[in-house]
Amino acid sequence: MRISLLTLGVTALPGVVAWGGFGHITVAYLASNFVSNETTAFFQGLLRNDTEHYLAGVATWADSLRYTRWGRFTGPFHFIDAKDSPPTYCGIDYERDCKKEGCVVSALHNYTTRLLDTELHVSERAMAAKFVVHFVGDIHQPLHTEDVARGGNGIHVLFDGRNFNLHHVWDTSIPEKLVGGIHRKPYEAAKRWADVLTTEINEGKFLSAKDEWLKATNVSDPRSTALSWATESNAVVCTTVLPQGPDAIVGQELGSKYYEAAAPVVEAQIAKAGYRLAAWMDLIVSSLRNQPSPGDL
């Protein structure tokens, strides 16, 4: 984790960074595999990068921004702290759980709207694009939709004999173990994993689920869409993250039996995030195309 962050040039407090850089980059490569050619051209233009890395290269930008003085206001945008009670009760109540400073649901709403706003300066819209890429990743990390112990940051556990907090285990330890380690090359490992997941979605174990994944997607209603994604992630807290509640997990070794149950869920959440991000980007581009005033994209 620390090594991959240094490689990415990201200053981060251990355990506070979402999905780890590796998860976010995977989501971005996955989305780039699914978007239409028109969408690729639009976002490559907006982000001024015509390589296949145009999304992957901006996927962790929001994590570096939040620890800067200017970007501090974006800190709350990475999560929504559901005040639920796992494992007996999971659920998100927008009014109850989205702080007045904002949350990942309001942020996805805001930055989707800004991306669609042709009156805004392109630099603002490019920034909005980077936020959307990142927050669609975050919202699929179950512990970004959970209040308990600051999203699990305060729960100390073991993973393969080493001390971590639970948040880090879900952000980083499980995804990296799943692919057999990223060997200090997060972009290459992420590209490979994204290609594996692309095949699983197109013709493998996710083929039958992928249409269901897009059911709640409505670009005219970004808040409801984001809320449904968040609610689904939050449900995983009760089933898989804390199936016996927060106390039962403290100090436990999570690298074997727990990992076996969690890894397929992490894989599915990453796959969903990338597939949904692609659909979201396609919808943004077609909705811009269909705007009454022909303004430049």
Ligand X SMILES: *[C@@H]1O[C@H](CO)[C@@H](O)[C@H](O)[C@H]1NC(C)=O
Give the residues lining the site for ligand X (CB under 6 A). Answer: 37, 49, 51, 53-54, 57, 102, 106-107, 110, 218, 220-221
| Residue 109 annotated to the active site | no
Shortest distance in whole angstroms from residue 205 CB to ligand X: 26
Catalytic residue check, 171? yes
Instruction: Between 21 and 152, name the residue whose CB sits nearer to ligand X.
Output: 21
Give CA separation, 95 vs 80, 102, 145, 285, in Å. Answer: 11, 11, 14, 30
Q: Can 125 be counted among the known catalytic residues?
A: no
Asked if 10 and 21 touch (Cβ cutoff 8 Å), the reply is yes
C-beta of 33: minimal distance to ligand X in Å?
A: 11
Of these residues, 109, 125, 134, 276, which one is catalytic?
134
Q: Which two tokens stand for residue 2?
A: 């620390």
Q: Which of 81, 84, 97, 138 is catalytic?
A: 138
Closer by beta carbon to ligand X, 24 or else 168? 24
Q: Is 183 a catalytic residue?
A: no
Shortest spacing between CB 123 and ligand X, in angstroms = 11
53 catalytic residue (yes or no): no
Q: Measured from the CB atom, is 11 or 218 closer to ligand X?
A: 218
Out of 63, 81, 97, 282, the active site residue is: 63
Q: Is 168 a catalytic residue?
A: no
Q: Is 19 a catalytic residue?
A: yes
Residue 152 beta carbon to ligand X: minimum distance, rounded to whole angstroms: 24
216, amino acid identity:
A
Identify the active-site residue in 84, 97, 171, 282.
Answer: 171
- State the nearest-atom distance from the C-beta of 165 to ligand X, in Å: 28
Catalytic: which of 167, 193, 213, 282? Answer: 167
**Identity of residue 151:** G
Shorter beta-carbon distance to ligand X: residue 125 or 167: 125
Write down the least CB distance from residue 51 to ligand X, Å. Answer: 5
48 is catalytic: no
CA–CA dist 254, 81 (Å, integer): 23
Which of residues 49 and 85 has its CB atom nearest to ligand X in the complex? 49
Nearer to ligand X, 99 or 257 (CB): 99
Catalytic residue annotation: 19, 24, 63, 66, 78, 134, 138, 144, 167, 171
